Amino acid sequence: MRLALDEAERAVLGGDVPVGAVVLSPDGTTVLAAGHNEREATGDPTAHAEILAIRRAAAALGEWRLSGCTLVVTLEPCTMCAGAIVQSRVDRVVYGARDEKAGAAGSLWDVIRDRRLNHRPEVVEGVLATECARLLTDFFRGR
């Protein structure tokens, strides 16, 4: 999560909401890819940290299936990112701060673990939640 927090801090430099993500290999020790929000920096509405990290991890592996991989992200994924997580076959999602307004991993919706879908990753929430939430709170207070 500390690596994801480092990524989140990079987002602020581009004027983006500080969310960072890291994809770990199936062994859990190798970082396959990382990303941070780049919507403002690129003008791409899909440039969320999770989407960018998933794209980069797939490129690093040379395939779209991220079976066995873990996505670590500072903020609970939204519905778009939750859909990408399910579609990419990530096995585990670890996130820091809950997103009561747009979260899709248990707070507002639970897309990731919806029993109607063909793939349901494990979800671990609240890892370094205070630090993750503080970064977001500080960003929005400064606006």
pLDDT of residue 143: 79
Which one-letter amino acid corresponds to residue 107? S
Per residue in 24-47, pLDDT (tens digit) is 999 999 999 999 999 999 999 999
Domain-located, residue 10 = yes
Domain-located, residue 142 = no
Domain-located, residue 68 = yes
Known catalytic residue at 50? yes
Per residue in 71-103, pLDDT (tens digit) is 999 999 999 999 999 999 999 999 999 999 999
Which residue range forms the structural domain that includes residue 92? 1-137
Q: Is 78 annotated as a binding residue?
A: yes
Residue 8 has pLDDT above 90, yes or no: yes
Domain-located, residue 118 = yes
Q: Is 69 annotated as a binding residue?
A: no
Which one-letter amino acid corresponds to residue 14? G
Computed over every residue of the chain, the mean pLDDT equals 97
- Tell me how many domains the chain contains: 1
> At 17, which CATH number?
3.40.140.10
- Pick the catalytic residue: 50, 63, 122, 125? 50
Distance from C-alpha of 131 to C-alpha of 139, rounded to nearest angstrom: 13
Domain-located, residue 143 = no
